[in-house]
């Protein structure tokens, strides 16, 4: 079972402090990071691999930006919301909008949606090849169309996410 301190340590190894562009103090960032860590643990049901995968997606998709976290800035041309950068797809507008927010409830909804999408991606990719793992799941999550990083123009991004995930699962931090 993964703990909140372990997830917080992993998050801070990915991004130790706020970007100067955020106008967020270190104390504010750490308080928000605590909410993210609690939400990731809750959404991952305490499973280390899933928790670290959610964290890597949050880092990769949003760099933990407070504007994206709060839903004040949307990605993918205004179509993607929360730290996991989810599109509306089959969600109602209200369900989709509820993924954004810096409180624990909204952050947990976003983390759970991210974890669920990653699990679906992992299973889909593993059905194609038993050699496929989280690198391929990150690729499908990010592209929506392929498990193979080499078939994406963002190949290096997805390979990097796989390497970060492996380091976090193995060591609990990025060295």
Convert the pLDDT of each residue in 14-66 to its tens digit: 999 999 999 999 999 999 999 999 999 999 999 999 999 999 999 999 999 99
Question: Residue 169 is encoded by which pair of tokens?
Answer: 């699962």
Euclidean distance between CA atoms 139 and 11, whole angstroms: 21
Q: Which pLDDT score, from 0 to 100, does residue 116 have?
A: 98
Query: What is the mean pLDDT of the segment spanning 88-106?
Result: 97
Q: What sign results for the dihedral spanned by CA atoms 114, 88, 150, 119?
A: positive
C-alpha to C-alpha distances, 72 to 14, 66, 68, 75, 80, nearest whole angstrom? 23, 8, 6, 10, 11
Backbone φ and ψ of 75, nearest 5°: -95, 180
Averaged confidence pLDDT in the chain: 97
Checking if the pLDDT of 175 tops 90, the result is: no
Q: Which pLDDT score, from 0 to 100, does residue 158 have?
A: 98
- List domains and CATH numbers for the chain: 4-171 (1.10.530)
pTM: 0.97
**Looking up tokens 């800035």, which residue turns up?**
73
């Amino acid at each position: 079972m993964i703990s909140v301190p372990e997830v917080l340590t992993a998050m801070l190894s990915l991004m130790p402090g706020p970007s100067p562009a955020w106008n967020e103090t270190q104390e504010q960032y750490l308080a928000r990071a605590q909410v993210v860590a609690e939400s990731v643990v809750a959404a991952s049901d305490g499973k280390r691999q899933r928790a670290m995968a959610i964290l890597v997606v949050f880092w990769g998709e949003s760099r933990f930006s407070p504007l994206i976290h709060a839903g004040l800035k949307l990605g993918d041309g205004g179509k993607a919301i929360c730290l996991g950068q989810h599109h509306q797809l089959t969600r109602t507008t209200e369900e989709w909008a509820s993924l954004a927010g810096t409180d624990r409830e909204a952050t947990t909804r976003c983390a759970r949606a991210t974890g669920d999408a990653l699990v679906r991606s992992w299973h889909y990719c593993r059905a194609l090849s038993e050699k496929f793992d989280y690198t391929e799941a990150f690729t499908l999550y990010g592209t929506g169309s392929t498990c193979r990083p080499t078939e994406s123009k963002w190949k290096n991004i997805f390979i990097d996410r796989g390497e970060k995930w492996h380091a976090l699962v193995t060591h609990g931090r990025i060295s």
